[in-house]
């Protein structure tokens, strides 16, 4: 039993090492950096809307305007624009990381991995999407 466990653990470690070696999610290229910087600059503007529940972390690696009513009317168009710009950047980021890894066809996998990561990193109180429905973390 113990030996079995050891083999399983080794397999898991090997698999993990293989995966980690296969896709470098932290790949550092000027293109990736430009997109990350743009997203970081926008995050300060988006954070209050994650907290209010107006914007949620969608399950497809995007963000979504889930309750525009939580945003004061004069800011609603701007938040709408922030969400659109954030999603443009996220699409570009996944494509850019796939390109930087030399495998543009990995974009879908990278998107899924990031979707999980964004949801894990969501702060308590933020809204995340799973199975089509929204829940508060």
Partner 1 sequence: MLRLPDRYAIRAQAFLLFFSLSSSAAAASIALSIADIAAPDFSARGIALSLPQDGSAELRIDQLQVQGRELRKARLHCARFELSTAGMSCSGGSLDKLPGIALEFGYRFGGAWQFSAQLRKAPAKALAVFMPADMPQFTQGSLHGALHAGGDAAGTNSFDADLRLADVGFGDTTGLHAAEKLRGTAKLAATRKAGVWNWQGDIDWQSGDLFWQPLYLTGAVERKLSMAGSYDGARLAVERGEAALAQIGRVQFAAQWDLRQSRLDHATVHGDDLALERLFADYAKPFFDGGALAEAMLSGHADVDWRYRDGATQSLRLALREVGVADAQQRFALRGLNTAFDWRPNAAQHADIVFAGGEMFGVPFGAAQWRMQMQGMQFGVAHAALPLLDGKLELNDFRLRREGDDWRWQFGAALSGISMERFSQSVGWPQMLGTLAGRIPRVSYDGAAISAEGALLFNLFDGTVVASRLKLADPFGRAPRLYGNLNMRELDLDLLTRTFSFGSMQGRIDVDVNDLELQNWQPARFDARIASSDGDYPKKISQKAVQNISALGGAGAAAAIQRSYLRFFENFGYDRIGWRCKLRNGVCAMGGVDNGSGGAYAIVKGGGIPAITVMGYNRAVSWNELVSRLKRVTQGNMQAVVK
Residues of this chain that interact with partner 1 (CB under 8 A) are 27-35, 38, 65, 67-71, 73-74, 76-77, 80-81, 84, 88-89, 92, 96
- Rounded least distance, CB 89 to partner 1, Å: 6
- Rounded least distance, CB 88 to partner 1, Å: 6
Nearest to 61 by CA among 10, 124, 128: 128
- Rounded least distance, CB 35 to partner 1, Å: 5
Query: Please, which residue, 45 or 116, has the CB nearer to partner 1?
Result: 45
Query: Please, which residue, 33 or 136, has the CB nearer to partner 1?
Result: 33
Query: Please, which residue, 96 or 115, has the CB nearer to partner 1?
Result: 96
List, as one string, the DSSP characters of the chain: -HHHHHHHHHHHHHHHHHHHHH--TT---HHHHHHHHHHHHHHHHHHHHHHHTSEEE-TTSSEEE--GGGS-HHHHHHHHHHHHHHHHHHHHHHHHHHHHTT-GGGHHHHHHHHHHHHHHHPPTT-EEEETTEEEE-
Query: Please, which residue, 4 or 41, has the CB nearer to partner 1?
Result: 41
- Rounded least distance, CB 86 to partner 1, Å: 11
């Amino acid at each position: 039993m113990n030996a079995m466990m050891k083999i399983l653990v080794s397999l898991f470690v090997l698999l993990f090492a293989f995966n980690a070696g296969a896709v470098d999610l932290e790949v550092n290229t000027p293109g990736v950096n430009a997109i990350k910087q743009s997203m970081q600059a926008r995050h300060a503007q988006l954070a209050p809307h994650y907290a209010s529940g107006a914007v949620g972390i969608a399950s497809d690696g995007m963000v979504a305007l889930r309750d525009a009513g939580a945003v004061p009317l004069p800011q609603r168009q701007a938040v709408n624009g922030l969400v659109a710009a954030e999603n443009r950047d996220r699409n570009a980021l996944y494509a850019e990381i796939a390109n930087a890894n030399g495998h543009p066809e990995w974009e879908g996998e990278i998107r899924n991995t990031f979707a999980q990561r964004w949801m894990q990193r969501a702060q308590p109180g933020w809204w995340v999407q799973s199975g089509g429905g929204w829940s508060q973390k």
